[in-house]
Amino acid sequence: MADLDSAANASTHPGKRARTESDAFIVVKSQDLWFPKGDIIIRTTSEAAVIPRTRMMYKVHKDILALHCTAFADIFGGPQAAFEGVSEQDEGAPVMDLPDAEEDVSAFLKALYFPTETKLHPGVLNPYLGGEKWNLIPSSYHGTLRLATKYDAAGIRRLIIEALLQEWPTVLGQWDRLRQALANTLPLVPEENHWSCYPSSGNMIRLAMDCNVPDALPSAFYDLSCAVEDERDDGLSLLTSKELCTFTTGQRALYTRFSNMCRDFSNGACRSETCSAQGKSDCADVMGELWQTVAAFQTVASRPSDPLAWIGFLPQCVDASGAALCSQCQRWSKSEFIKMRKALWKELPGFFSLANSVTTSWGYECEDRGLYYP
Ligand SMILES: [Zn+2]
């Protein structure tokens, strides 16, 4: 609260030194957030270097601020005279300077007063919206989440995080639904605009790191691992050097784990325990060929771009093998692939040094069904 305190103190003693041109600022009243019966005026202290500077003012209600934010409840909860006595007054209400950016303050107050607007983020599950960059998290989310974190507005914070986790899920089923939605959408979009359909993982990592949302990070880091490979995301530029290190280490661990999974599978029995070997050839041989295909791909591409998609593709290969595999081995291998995907997903936090940061239920679904395969 140091910022807020120092800002309040600054406004306590207006005119103590001679004003210079750089002190001058134009005050603008917010159109949306100026309630005549409000009992407090929030004023932003713009940091823009433009002279004269603009300061936005919002006439709002102490009760509303205190209801949502512990920090404001503490300020207003003390002896009334203490806060109001030291504050500059305007239009019958005390003025409180906030050092935060005007864009952030507007977004945050709108979330308090007009919560439905905050829920309007179209999201990746919606159809393509005519070229809009709906892959980016709206900047209003950044501002709202930043200030909800800073001023301890737990309810608003939870709302925003829930919305973010819809797009950067903790469970594989939701990840698969998003990928399916993306796959359904891409054919409807001109090819030059495909990039705009992929959610920006770099954008999410920046926000999650800045506002402490660890649960969104494993899926965002995973996506960035694939995105960098596809060269369709400039998200790396948003990472600090430490985060970049976490990312590259995690990406390497992810692909090593996937390679080992493939190796273990192909070195295993490669057939169901109840294999009836009714096919045209031995089931273990057919399965071995399948994995050789995967191995060959890895050699060509040096690493697979999207291991979860790769394993998800394998059941189709089994189906394509037709009668070459007995029905028991077909069922068995498909259930093994589902297990592999789930295992890889649950290990994502560990790859990116997040195992101790995410919630303990990260990766666990209530319904343990393979949503990837309808
Ligand atoms: Zn078999």
What letter does residue 324 receive in the DSSP assignment?
Answer: G
What is the average per-residue pLDDT within 292-311? Answer: 70
Q: How many A from CA of 272 to the centre of ligand 1? A: 6
Confidence of residue 219 (pLDDT cuts 50, 70, 90): very high
Nearest partner of 123 among 189, 182, 171, judged by Cα: 182
Q: How many A from CA of 47 to the centre of ligand 1? A: 70
Q: How many A from CA of 276 to the centre of ligand 1? A: 5
Highest-confidence segment of 74-78, 129-133, 248-252, 315-319? 248-252
Check pLDDT > 90 for residue 34: yes
What is the average per-residue pLDDT within 191-209? Answer: 82
Give, for 96, the enclosing helix (H) or strand (E).
strand 93-98
Give, for 28, the enclosing helix (H) or strand (E).
strand 25-34
Hey, what long-range contacts does 199-202 have (CB within 8 A, 24 or more apart)?
A: 199/124, 199/135, 199/137, 199/167, 199/168, 199/223, 200/135, 200/136, 200/137, 200/233, 200/235, 201/168, 201/227, 201/233, 201/235, 202/233, 202/234, 202/235, 202/236, 202/237, 202/238, 202/239
Q: How many A from CA of 297 to the centre of ligand 1? A: 25
Q: Where are the alpha helices (DSSP H) in the chain?
A: 2-12, 62-68, 70-77, 80-86, 102-113, 115-118, 139-150, 154-167, 172-185, 201-211, 217-230, 241-267, 283-301, 307-320, 327-351
In contact, 113 and 144? CB cutoff 8 Å: no
Check pLDDT > 80 for residue 305: no
Extents of the domains making up the chain: 1-99, 103-239, 260-351
Q: How many A from CA of 290 to the centre of ligand 1? A: 14
Q: How many A from CA of 279 to the centre of ligand 1? A: 7
The whole-angstrom separation of Cα 5 and Cα 31 is: 27
Nearest partner of 67 among 154, 142, 2, judged by Cα: 154
The whole-angstrom separation of Cα 3 and Cα 78 is: 19
Q: How many A from CA of 308 to the centre of ligand 1? A: 25
Backbone angles phi, psi at 163, to 5 degrees: -65, -40
Confidence of residue 260 (pLDDT cuts 50, 70, 90): confident
Q: How many A from CA of 336 to the centre of ligand 1? A: 14
Q: How many A from CA of 271 to the centre of ligand 1? A: 6
C-alpha triplet 134, 137, 139: angle, nearest 5°: 110
194/61: higher pLDDT: 61
Backbone angles phi, psi at 25, to 5 degrees: -150, 155
18/100: higher pLDDT: 100
Backbone angles phi, psi at 30, to 5 degrees: -65, 135
Q: How many A from CA of 344 to the centre of ligand 1? A: 26
Q: How many A from CA of 261 to the centre of ligand 1? A: 21
- Mean confidence (pLDDT) of the chain: 79
Q: How many A from CA of 300 to the centre of ligand 1? A: 30
Q: How many A from CA of 242 to the centre of ligand 1? A: 49
Q: How many A from CA of 262 to the centre of ligand 1? A: 19
3 state DSSP class of 190 = coil
Q: How many CB atoms lie within 10 A of CB 2?
A: 7
Q: Which string of b and e fits 114-138 if b means at least 16 CB within 10 Å?
A: eeeebeebeebeeebeeeeebbebb
The size of the chain, in residues, is 374
Q: How many A from CA of 266 to the centre of ligand 1? A: 15
51/35: higher pLDDT: 35
Tokens encoding 268: 């295993």
Q: How many A from CA of 328 to the centre of ligand 1? A: 6
Nearest partner of 90 among 46, 40, 56, 54, judged by Cα: 40
Check pLDDT > 50 for residue 128: no
Q: How many A from CA of 296 to the centre of ligand 1? A: 24
Q: How many A from CA of 310 to the centre of ligand 1? A: 22
Tokens encoding 227: 């995105």
What letter does residue 137 receive in the DSSP assignment?
Answer: P
Q: How many A from CA of 318 to the centre of ligand 1? A: 12
> Per-residue pLDDT tens for 41-99?
999 986 665 666 788 999 999 999 999 999 888 888 876 656 666 678 888 899 999 98
What letter does residue 53 receive in the DSSP assignment?
Answer: E
Highest-confidence segment of 18-22, 76-80, 259-263? 259-263
The whole-angstrom separation of Cα 374 and Cα 294 is: 23
Tokens encoding 199: 């959610």
Q: How many A from CA of 314 to the centre of ligand 1? A: 16
Q: How many A from CA of 286 to the centre of ligand 1? A: 9
What does each C-alpha distance from 140 to 48, 108, 147, 166, 332 come to in angstroms? 19, 8, 11, 17, 48
Check pLDDT > 60 for residue 102: yes
